[in-house]
Structure formats: C-alpha cells, structure tokens
Chains A and B, each alone.
Chain A
C-alpha cells in the first residue's frame, strides 16, 4: 500500500523564484479552507506541522524565504468518494460507499530552484530527478515575470527535461517516446499587472459569475493561449521553445494549462468587489535603514491572500492519477 502511494505521487518543478514554495503554502491554505472533493492531510507529524505553518504564514501575509534546502512533504490528498462518484460514475459500479476514500500521495519535494541545474550538488540533483521520474504527475511552474525579466525558463526546463527523458527512456521506454507523466503547467503570478494586462489585451479575461468578488480569471481552455503569448514576449525570446519542449516530451492529452496566483488580487478591507484601479496584492517592504537589517524577503502580501487556481492543477492531477488507479488491470 505504501509503495503504491509512493509511486502515485505528484512532484513540483519550476525555475528558482518561480513561486514553488508560495504555491505550496497557498495550496495548503486553499485546500484546508475550501470544501471540495479533495482534502489535504499530512501523513507524518513534520508534514502536518509544515502544512499548518505554511498556510499560517500566508495568512500573516508573508512570502516564504527562498528555499535553501530541499524540503519534503508527505501529504495526502483524500478524495470524498461521494463527490467523486459523480465525476467517475460508471467506474465505481455503485460500490462507492464501500470503497476506501480515494487517496493520492502528494509527496512534494520543494527544492531550491537552483538544484535542478546545479551540478555542484549531485546528490540533491539525482534525488530530484528520481523524484520527478517516480512521480505520476508534475506541477510545472512557469513564471512569466521572470520570463519578462530574465527569460531563463527554457534553459532551465530543457536541461532538466533532457536528463529526465534520458533516464526514463533508458529504463522502460514508453511506446511513443514520450514521458508518461501528467503535466499541469501553471502560469504563476496572474495577479501581477503585467500578466493581467497581457491577458486583458488578448481578451482572455472573464469573471466567474459565482465569484462574489468578481476577480478576473482566465478559463483553462484559454490558459494555453496566454501561455503562448507570454512566451512570445519573453525577454530572451527562447520561451517559445518551452512550448516545443513540453510537447516533445509529454503527451499532449496529458498536459493542461492553468493560470494561477498564489496570493490573488488585493481587496481593500471593507470593500467587496475587485477594483481594477487598485488590485496589486504584492507590496515591497520598507527597507529599514535605521537598524541596518534587511528584511528576509523583499515583498509581502498587501492584503489577504486569495489564491487563484492553485487547488485546481493539483486536484486535476490527483483525479487523472485516481482515474488511472481505477482502470481495470491496475490491481485495485
């Protein structure tokens, strides 16, 4: 059983500073808060504590410090069989109530972004690749802000992909020469003005009529269009290769795009609706020259964190993996 769980886990992947750790915090925040078919629980005391700490820090409007050491989380996504039954009707054969709760291991390794390319830490590097290799689903974070400024996503991604592919293909080559993983491509930092404005210019922004705050959103079907365009305006111009690389290594039907924000848009306390004139939720901290101390991170969250679309990529992956678990011949 535990082996099974281990092999069904989800890994996280993204360039340094792309928002991995913040996404984790937002994810715990969002999954702990919202009702839905999936719940998040820790499986050992340390992971339970981290889960609590991360969401609490976000509630304090703090960004996590840059990750220095690999952090491991053994979390578990527990599905509500009743809710999931509706979605996977037919596969349960009416036996939902007797089935154990669906579970997908969320063995997240939050590496310092640099480790994926860092040749000076071969042990960590190998562990990471192994983690990626053994995972069934990958949350890939694409940070458009970094792309505007540095444009290093391709270099970063490609290096790791080649290594991953060569490892996997050497061991048990998939039939189509592609990796078997599900890939949730998360465009991060949607709350940033430059990302939102790009989406607006492309007419991709909608609002969910059920959203009491009327926050801008990009439907998942349009997320890929936004991704393409963000790649086009990337600083290095090489981001377009990111798309090519993803399509080359992953099966197109196993890739899904999400436009996400870990912190969401700012909502002025006491107001209800999104204010298009004042929505930036990240604020640079005062630099306190008087005591000579530099703050641990440059930014903090201005208002309440209101994660956008952070639950969805993970639950999408969980559901894909779960659906595979239900497939006949899968030993279940």
Chain B
C-alpha cells in the first residue's frame, strides 16, 4: 500500500508471516521531489514524474492500493502518474486518516488463516509413553474475541510452573506464538483462551500466569519419555518385627513413626501408609502360628500414626523362635495386598526388624517357613513392580546384619540405632523423586 501524504510517499509493506499473522512494515517517508507543493510540478513535470516512478520501482512489488490522505496539487499529480503506471491498483482517498491505526485494527480483525493449538501432553494408555499433542484452541477462520475454555490436568512441575504454549500449525510444523507459565498444584484445572488478534491469544483463569522465560527447547527436553506415576500418591508400607526385647521393639516402632512423619511431611496429601507387624514362627510342639497382622492398609498417615500409638500401648512382645522371623510371610502378605491395587504408584516397603527370614526349605540352621514361602523370590517379585523400593532398618549395623538383610536391604539398609531418617526416606524414594511434567496433560 502506498500512502500519498502531505510530506511524501509512505510505503506500507503488508504480508503474513509463517504463522499466518498479518504483518505490516512501514517504511520511512520518501519526500516528494521538489519543487512540487501546492502547485505540483506543472512547470517542469518530467523530472518529478521520473523521480516518482523511480520511487515506485524501489518499493519492489507493485502496490495493490493507493491511498491519498492529503488532497492537493502534488499528490493529485503523483496519483495520476502512479495510476498510469499501475492501472490495476485500486485507489482511494481518505483525507487526514491515520493509516497506521486503521491497518492495525484491520489486521486484528483478520480471521485466522492457520489453526491455533495449545501444546499438551498425552499419555499412551498401555505404555505410559508421553507424547506431545496440540489441543485445538482456534480453528482457521476464528476471529478476534473468540474464546474457548480448556480443561486440563497437571502433575508436579518445575518451580517455574506448567508451560502454556500456543502454536500455529503450518503444515506439520508448529510455530510458537506465545509461552506462559503458572505454578499450579497437581490436579484438574481449566484455563480460558481468548483470541485477541492473529498471533495474540490471551490466557486467563489461572492464578500467577506470566510469560515463561524458559528456553523452549529446554522445556521440550524436560519432558520424560514415559509417564511414571510416582507423582501420584506414594505408598509407604512399614513392616515391623515384634519379637525381641521390649525396648528393641519400642525402638523399631519409633523408627517407623519417624519415617511416616518424615514422608508425610514431604508428600503432603499424597502419602498412603500401611502398617504390618510380624513375629516369629512357632515351632514349639503343636504351637499355633501367629499370623502377620495388617493394622492399616493404604491409610491416611495420621490414621497410621494413631495405629502405631495404639500398637505401642497394647503390644505384647513374645520372644518366639530366636533364629528367624516371619519376614517371608510378611512379604507374601504385602504382595497380596498390592496385588489388588492398580500398579504404578510408588511403593516403598520399609522392614524394621532383626531376625532374618526363614528359608523355604531346610537349608540352614534356621528352620524352614511352614508355608514354604521363599523370601528371595517374594522380594524379587516386590522389587520388580514398577515404582517399588525395598529398604531395611536392621537391629544390627550393616556389617553384622547377615546375608539375608544384606540382600533385602540392597537398595537401602540402615542400622536401628543410627539411621538417618531423612536420608533413608530419600533412599526409599520418598523424597521429591517425582517426575517433573512441565506441560498440561490431557
């Protein structure tokens, strides 16, 4: 577009960028060749005409529109010459108009030529693979003022928050139009997107939404390949041996309590706690087996702490068979309990005890488990569950714990009297080991 104004000729280069957004480049004014002014170039028109046609040539492509904003001798004459040179260009007059403002408005009203999407992640149902996808916000033809509500779900993210990226699709490649972020608690949310102009989408409905300064490619790279649902609730299972001296059992209960508190503090609202106690097998003649007790299963931490307190009050410590304890029965019980659950949650099994498990058959001085439970096989089965960690707080230091505890505690083994609970919690995966997912999930 050429503006024929009082001062001279102004070239407006109008185009769409790769995202389909109308763009306008206003070139500096090219002054009319002198002497023109009020009376035109009547005296000697030829040089002026040549100069104006040179200016036209310098604009590159032919103008589609000639607009006269200042009526007068020189502009009229220039218009006549230009029309002569470009008979196909439309021409009009708008005396005194602010063309820049008019253009801006027109561009904003321009319907979209590409569709706009919000960048989200989807989760493949079987594998849990995370894949990028575009959630449609505005289809082609959408206009300024169109709004759309977008319900989404989010997980734990980096402290900078969940990124909301609006892209335009040109063929197969998205073009990033805008990038915002908001620090949101995990869960369901909804945002509203409003098309303000081509290329301009206003997001509302989320508190703390602000431009995201993170590097786009870093953000893309931060997305894990697979959905590991640790970020959903963690399950801490405390299995406590109740044999031995009363004060030792008391110490074990203390450790379990400390761990529950530590984990609950780290994972507010996201921790479930199970509580089991186990004792010794009874090999005395015709003695009845004392079963593993499940005091709480996947309960609220507070509830489990109450149960621990009750346990402390009415615990009868039985000495029992001195060489082993029902670790293997407890493992079977835990696997049984977990079997009913949908897999995937992070599960930390903490064993607090001293006596080693019984072998499944006669192979050591420790008498075999009456049910022939194989603790090694059961431990392996537990460990092979996705998101499962097994840790042991043993009555004795690691170098005296014995091969069974060494094996069971290979991910985490500590000593009852000196365990560093926060560090042990981290080793059990009860720390902020959550996946960081920096995009909304659909």
Contacts and interface: CB of A to CB of B under 8 A. Distances in A.
B323 A284 contact: yes
B317 A278 contact: no
A275 to B, nearest CB: 9
Contact of B321 (A279, A283, A290, A303): A283
B342 interface: no
Interface string A252-285: 0000000000000000010000001111100111
A277 B362 contact: yes
Interface in B362-378: 362-365, 367-368, 370, 372
Contacts of B319: 286-290
A303 B285 contact: yes
Contact of A280 (B280, B284, B367, B372): B367
A302 B285 contact: yes
Interface in B53-98: none
A193 interface: yes
A283 to B, nearest CB: 4
A124 to B, nearest CB: 34
Nearest to B363: A193
B368 A277 contact: yes
B322 interface: yes
Interface in B342-388: 360-365, 367-368, 370, 372
A52 interface: no
A277 B361 contact: yes
Interface of B: 244-246, 280, 283-286, 317-323, 360-365, 367-368, 370, 372
A193 B284 contact: no
Interface string A179-199: 000000000000001000000
A289 B362 contact: no
B322 A287 contact: yes
5 contacts: A280-B367, A290-B246, A290-B317, A290-B319, A302-B284
Contact of B362 (A278, A286, A287, A288): A278
A286 B285 contact: no
B361 A278 contact: yes
B115 to A, nearest CB: 69
Nearest to B370: A278
Given A286-B321, A287-B322, A289-B245, 20 more contacts: A193-B363, A193-B365, A276-B361, A277-B361, A277-B368, A277-B372, A278-B361, A279-B362, A280-B368, A283-B283, A284-B322, A285-B322, A286-B284, A288-B319, A289-B246, A289-B319, A290-B246, A300-B284, A302-B283, A303-B285
Interface string A93-120: 0000000000000000000000000000
A278 B370 CA distance: 8
Contacts of A251: none
A178 interface: no
A158 interface: no
Contacts of A286: 280, 284, 318-322
B278 to A, nearest CB: 16
Contacts of A302: 283-285, 367
Contacts of A278: 361-362, 367-368, 370, 372
Interface in A285-301: 285-290, 300
Nearest to B244: A289
By secondary structure, the A interface counts as loop
B362 A193 contact: yes
A61 interface: yes
A283 B284 contact: yes
B321 A284 contact: yes
Nearest to A196: B362
A280 B324 CA distance: 15
Contacts of B318: 286
Contacts of B372: 277-278
Contacts of B286: 269
A280 B363 CA distance: 10
A22 to B, nearest CB: 17
B321 A276 contact: no
A277 B246 CA distance: 33
A61 B321 contact: no
Q: Which 5 A-B pairs have the closest CB atoms?
A: A277-B361, A286-B319, A283-B283, A289-B245, A278-B368
Contacts of A287: 319, 322
A57 to B, nearest CB: 14
Nearest to B365: A193
Contacts of A277: 360-362, 368, 372
Nearest to B321: A286
Contacts of B322: 284-287
B367 A283 contact: yes
A284 B324 CA distance: 10
A178 B283 CA distance: 48
A218 B370 CA distance: 27
A61 B287 CA distance: 14
A285 B322 CA distance: 7
Identify which of A283, A288, A300 gathers the most chain B CB atoms within 10 Å of its CB. A283
Nearest to B360: A277
A288 B245 CA distance: 9
Contacts of A300: 284
A1 B244 CA distance: 59
Contacts of B370: 278
A46 to B, nearest CB: 30
Identify which of B244, B317, B360, B368 gathers the most chain A CB atoms within 10 Å of its CB. B368
A115 B364 CA distance: 33
A269 B368 CA distance: 16
A237 to B, nearest CB: 23
Contacts of B363: 193
A96 to B, nearest CB: 44
A193 B363 CA distance: 7
Identify which of B286, B319, B362 gathers the most chain A CB atoms within 10 Å of its CB. B362
Given A277-B372, A278-B362, A287-B322, A61 B367 contact: no
Nearest to B364: A193
Contacts of B244: 289
A302 B280 CA distance: 15
A288 B322 CA distance: 10
A295 B362 CA distance: 25
A287 B244 CA distance: 9
A303 B370 CA distance: 14
Interface string A292-321: 000000001011000000000000000000
B361 A61 contact: no
Nearest to B319: A286
Contacts of A269: 286
A118 B357 CA distance: 42
A279 B365 CA distance: 11
A300 B285 CA distance: 10
Nearest to A301: B285
A278 B360 CA distance: 9
